[in-house]
Amino acid sequence: MRYISTRGDKTERRFCEILLEGLAPDGGLYLPVSYPQVDDATLTKWRGLSYADLAFEILSLYIDDIPAEDLRALLRRTYTQEVFGTPEITPLKPLEPGLALEALSNGPTLAFKDMAMQLLGGLFEYELKRRGETLNILGATSGDTGSAAEYAMRGKAGVNVFMLSPHGRMSPFQQAQMFSLQDANIHNIAVTGVFDDCQDIVKAVSNDLDFKRRHKIGTVNSINWARLLAQVVYYFAGYLQATKTNEEKVSFTVPSGNFGNVCAGHVARMMGLPIDKLVVATNENDVLDEFFRSGAYRVRGAADTYETSSPSMDISKASNFERFVFDLLGRDGARVKALFGGTEFKLSDEEFARIQRFGFQSGSSTHADRLATIRSCRENYGQLIDTHTADGLKVAQQRRDPAVTMIVLETALPAKFAATIVEALGIEPPRPAGLENIEALPKRVTVLPVDVQAVKTFIETHV
């Protein structure tokens, strides 16, 4: 399989070439030149495979520059019961007939980002070793991404992680998760500013091309194709658990921010997985809901980006969205380039009408909705869900077709967002075994001012 950019550059690249990269040189995102088709017989053959072997079947359709036995071994090392808690890796949790959660958040950092990031850690280590290179990952985080990256890269040969976070602004649990890591290749930098300051520093360092080259600076952001590809697997795994025959369709509702998770669902559907609807659920930051209702895409400014109780979906710009629009517009790179050149666009009526064919629907949720959904889910189904999953469940209940099974992707465990659970239910959510006293562990973190040079100096002295 070869990969091209969404903005018209037709240069074809291989999987391992784009693995360690972010944007394509023309500013677009990478997508496969075509989607491999999974026919009925193949899907039937995949019923009963372990998660790791299912992942191998799917990924080997997209990766032809890693020997099959190496890829299979890497996947079997990654998706284990030991790391993800159950033999199914992403088990379905039935709520009522025709409605289930798919648990994606039983990895080391209790959010679905582990599903892709754990694999990325293995792939990076594999490819860097093969090239005889090293990589210094620089990132900014307000919570989930940074910890998932650190737990994926800890102890990996050839990789260092420098993760900036806003000093004192993450929840005590999130801080403890990241700062308690004692691995020599993981560097936590708490910047005495806000998340935007952290992101600006990362941009400034990355824009210093000389520094970037000398110190082999890379990223693990959400536009990475390998991350998206890893996420395609659990749509298949969810479908295969929910159905007995390939005649049945299912729908998925996906709590969304950067459109990475649901874009993987789009890829699965394009491959021929019998998905009826893909329902995009947002919180008050409803850029995506607005698009699917109106065809207008409007990137929000910082002042119009709200801090909500589902903070991992507080985005102003959906960084993976361009991939879907590329397919929607018949893979017209010039048109995509024109649309994404600015901060807003509106589709023509004819273009907007095509959304139907791709199965997308949407809805949004508010803080009050989250509280009500967390309560009703506990009362009606005896299940405790986190705030992001609650956004999904609320929208799923609105959009559900009684004739089609709806799977809501559970994107985090409630323990991660305890304050809102207490607000909704008056009880502390339980923590997975081993994390009860994580706040008491010794912390490894360096506090730095909002100063690009200070961060550069720190990197120079720690690589």
Q: Which residues are catalytic?
A: 113
CB 157 to ligand PLP: min, Å: 27
Looking at the Cβ atoms of 246 and 261, the one nearer to ligand PLP is: 261
Binding residues for ligand PLP, rule CB under 6 A, total: 16
- 415, 432 Cβ separation under 8 angstroms: yes
- The candidate with the shortest Cα–Cα distance to 30, out of 1, 54, 58, is 1
Q: Tokens representing 128?
A: 């860097």
Cβ proximity to ligand PLP: between 114 and 276 the closer is 114
Considering only residues 117, 412, 424, 459, which one is a binding residue for ligand PLP as defined by CB under 6 A?
A: 412
Q: How far is the CB of 408 from ligand PLP (least distance, A)?
A: 12
For residue 191, the cross-strand partners are: 166, 448
Q: Tokens representing 325?
A: 């629009």
118 near ligand PLP (CB under 6 A): no
Query: Residue 379 Cβ, how far from ligand PLP at the closest point, in Å?
Result: 23
x/- letters, 7..46, toward ligand PLP (CB under 6 A): ----------------------------------------
Least distance in angstroms from the C-beta of 103 to ligand PLP: 12
Return the sign of the alpha-carbon dihedral for residues 292, 10, 30, 139: negative
Residue with tokens 């989607």: 35
Q: Is 259 left (phi over 0), alpha (psi -120 to 50) or beta?
A: left
* Residue 144 binds ligand PLP, judged by CB under 6 A: yes
Question: Cβ of residue 411: shortest distance to ligand PLP, in angstroms?
Answer: 3
Task: State in angstroms the smallest separation of the CB of 430 from ligand PLP.
Answer: 18
The β-bridge relationship of strands 344-346 and 360-364 is unpaired
Task: Find the DSSP H helices in 31-67.
Answer: 40-46, 51-59
Q: Which is nearer to ligand PLP, 280 or 459 (CB)?
A: 280
Nearest CA to 271 out of 17, 15, 32 is that of: 32
Residue 347 φ then ψ, to 5°: -70, 155
Footprint of ligand PLP on residues 68-97 (CB under 6 A)?
none
Q: Do residues 85 and 115 lie in contact, with contact meaning Cβ atoms separated by under 8 Å?
A: no
Asked if 113 interacts with ligand PLP (CB under 6 A), we say yes
Candidate list 268, 313, 325, 395; residue touching ligand PLP; CB under 6 A = 313
Question: What is the footprint of ligand PLP within residues 273-312 (CB under 6 A)?
Answer: 312
Q: For residues 60 and 171, which CB has a smaller minimum distance to ligand PLP in the complex?
A: 171
CB of 320: closest distance to ligand PLP in angstroms?
Answer: 7
**Contacting residue, 20, 59, 92, 111, with ligand PLP by CB under 6 A:** 111
Q: Which is nearer to ligand PLP, 118 or 411 (CB)?
A: 411
Indicate the DSSP class of residue 252: E
Closest to ligand PLP by CB, 110 or 240: 110
C-alpha angle 344-350-354 in degrees, rounded to nearest 5? 90
Q: Are 262 and 256 in contact, with CB atoms under 8 Å apart?
A: yes
Q: Which is nearer to ligand PLP, 185 or 258 (CB)?
A: 258
Q: Strand, coil or helix: what is 187?
A: strand
Q: Which of 117, 111, 115, 122 is nearest to 155 (CA)?
A: 122
Q: Are 60 and 73 in contact (CB under 8 A)?
A: no
CB of 418 to ligand PLP, least distance (A): 14
Nearer to ligand PLP, 246 or 411 (CB): 411
| Binding letters toward ligand PLP, positions 198-237, x by CB under 6 A | ------------------------x---------------
Q: Residue 345: beta bridge partners? A: 297
The alpha carbon of 133 is separated from its chain's Cα centroid by a whole number of angstroms, namely 26
Least distance from C-beta 147 to ligand PLP, angstroms? 10
166-169 contacts at long range (C-beta below 8 A, 24 or more positions apart): 166/142, 166/190, 166/191, 166/193, 166/194, 166/195, 166/197, 166/198, 167/191, 167/192, 167/193, 167/447, 169/142, 169/194, 169/195
Residues 236-265 that bind ligand PLP (CB under 6 A): 255-261
Choosing from 175, 188, 411, 420, the residue that interacts with ligand PLP (CB under 6 A) is 411
Nearer to ligand PLP, 189 or 415 (CB): 415
- CA 360, chain centre distance (Å): 18
**Interface pick for ligand PLP out of 337, 388, 394, 400 (rule CB under 6 A):** 388
Binding interface with ligand PLP (CB under 6 A)? 111, 113, 144, 222, 255-261, 312-313, 388, 411-412
